[in-house]
Amino acid sequence: MFRPVLASRVLRRNAARHLVAGTRRVSSVSEQATEDTAEAPVTSAAETEDKVLDATVPEGKPKIVAEVERAGGDKYIEWERTKITLAHLRTMKRYRTPISMLTAYDYPTGLACDASRVEIVLVGDSLAQVCLGYDSTTRITLDEMIHHCKAVARGCKTPFLVVDMPFGTYHGTPEETFHNAVRLVREGGAEAVKLEGGPEIAHHVEHLTLAGIPVFAHLGLMPQRAVQLGGYLPQARRFHSAKRLVEHALVMEQAGAVAVVLEAVPPEVAEAATSRLKHAFTIGIGAGRGTDGQVLVWDDMLGNSRGRKPRFVRQFAHLRKHVDDGIAAYVNAVRRRTYPAYQTSNMYSMDSDQSRQLFAEWMERTRRGLATENATTEGENEPSSDLESQTGMKARG
């Protein structure tokens, strides 16, 4: 049986009182929340975080704008496009509206996600391989993640922004994990952090949650542990491993995780985990349609990646072919001097005919002066006699 390493009941109660007490911006709501928290027992960090969220965001639920029919005949709710919050995402889970999540790595991809209807943007450590050319996600450093997260945050204003904690930044003490997570939030501009692992990191999840940093857990295929897992292989395919994954998802929710990413697991296992979780929503990648949402890597989704792609990836565009064709056409135009075109309207011109004439005269004088100088130099270098010429040729030979 797997148990998380949780704080004591007294610690949880005191932390809950402290967090709720900080919500006095809305006096009537916060006072009621404080009384409720003081009287009711606090059973987990997840319930504590829920109460704080309800107290601080009394009107945080999005407005319904339309009902859209799916291919199967059932309907889902389309929401008003506002700043995405955890309250928004939980409401989508409650109404069974699928959540879309996409990776981004720089300012342009952040802008593109902000202009779309993506709810969650993940600055994933997959950028180690996609953008930086590393052979593994374990190579990327905390400073590199912060650098890319800052760029995405400058362009991504509406979606909820999550960042991966790099390998080795959450495997020490809870205090060290907290320090690293604070850097990602404060310097990088992230709103939540994502950690790979199960009960062995539950105490880190709880520590971050009680400190006010939302946590996304990651189960199933964990790329940071690919060597230990024997490669990038599907997980939870046997009874005991499937049961263990569902139990681990419950442990992470109890520790305070607001979401659980399930990667490369059978659809029935992901659906079982999703149905058992009461508060946390699930995001699937190669886990079937039964999760609360889906996530894909930017380059995989747009068909811009090179090499072998996972079997679950669907390419919604084919940018790589367009990119390769565009580069080849540009190089060919430069070689043939068809770019830039001669005397086209998009070329810059001099401000007047007089300036053009003065510049042409100056260039002509410069050309004549260079011609005279070259002739003089050539005359000085000529041998004075045939003997000197022969001698010089022999010396050079």
Distance, in Å, from the CA atom of 266 to the CA atom of 221, rounded to the nearest integer, reads 11
- Asked whether 76 and 97 are in contact (CB, 8 A), the reply is yes
Distance, in Å, from the CA atom of 49 to the CA atom of 52, rounded to the nearest integer, reads 5
From the candidates 47, 191, 206, 263, which is the catalytic residue? 263
pLDDT tens figures, 149-178 = 999 999 999 999 999 999 999 999 999 999
Query: What is the average per-residue pLDDT within 328-341?
Result: 91
Coil, strand or helix at 262: strand
* Closest by CA position to 275, among listed 289, 292, 259, 261: 292
Per DSSP, the residues of 338-359 read: -SSPTT-TTS---S-HHHHHHH
Query: What is the average per-residue pLDDT within 258-264?
Result: 98
**Cβ neighbours of residue 229 under 8 Å, at least 6 residues apart?**
221, 222, 235
**Cβ neighbours of residue 98 under 8 Å, at least 6 residues apart?**
76, 92, 292, 293, 294
Residue 271, pLDDT score:
98
Residue 348, pLDDT score:
83
Per the rule left: phi > 0, alpha: psi between -120 and 50, beta: everything else, 137 is alpha
Hey, how many other C-beta atoms are within 10 angstroms of the C-beta on 162?
Answer: 27
Structure tokens belonging to residue 391: 């001698």
Length of the chain: 397
Catalytic residue status for 378: no
Q: For residue 264, what pLDDT band results from cuts at 50, 70 and 90?
A: very high
Residue 333, pLDDT score:
93
Q: Could you tell me the pTM of the whole model? A: 0.75
- Asked whether 271 and 284 are in contact (CB, 8 A), the reply is no
The larger pLDDT score, comparing residue 5 to residue 96, is at 96
Distance, in Å, from the CA atom of 154 to the CA atom of 148, rounded to the nearest integer, reads 10
Percent of all residues in the chain with a pLDDT value above 70, rounded to a whole number: 75
Residue 307, φ and ψ in degrees, nearest 5: 90, -170
Structure tokens belonging to residue 66: 């339309």
Q: For residue 254, what pLDDT band results from cuts at 50, 70 and 90?
A: very high
* 32 has a pLDDT exceeding 90: no
| Across 20-24, 137-141, 152-156, 347-351, least confident range | 20-24
Q: For residue 36, what pLDDT band results from cuts at 50, 70 and 90?
A: very low
- DSSP conformational letter for 383: -
Strand partners, 219: 262
Residue 28, pLDDT score:
43
pLDDT tens figures, 287-314 = 999 999 999 999 999 999 887 788 889 9
The larger pLDDT score, comparing residue 228 to residue 84, is at 84
Which residues of the chain form beta strands (DSSP E)?
64-69, 75-79, 99-103, 120-123, 160-164, 192-196, 215-220, 259-263, 281-285, 293-296
Strand partners, 223: none
Query: Quick one: how many helices (H) and strands (E) in the chain?
Result: 16, 10
Give the dihedral sign, CA 71/76/80/86. Answer: negative
- Asked whether 142 and 166 are in contact (CB, 8 A), the reply is yes
Alpha-carbon dihedral 273, 274, 275, 278, rounded to 10 degrees: 100
* Structural domains of the chain sorted by starting position, each given as residue range(s) with its CATH number in brackets: 1-59 (no CATH), 98-318 (3.20.20.60)
**Separation in Å, CA 128 to CA 45, 81, 140, 280, 285:** 32, 31, 6, 28, 19
Burial of 226 (0-12, 13-18, 19+ CB in 10 A): middle
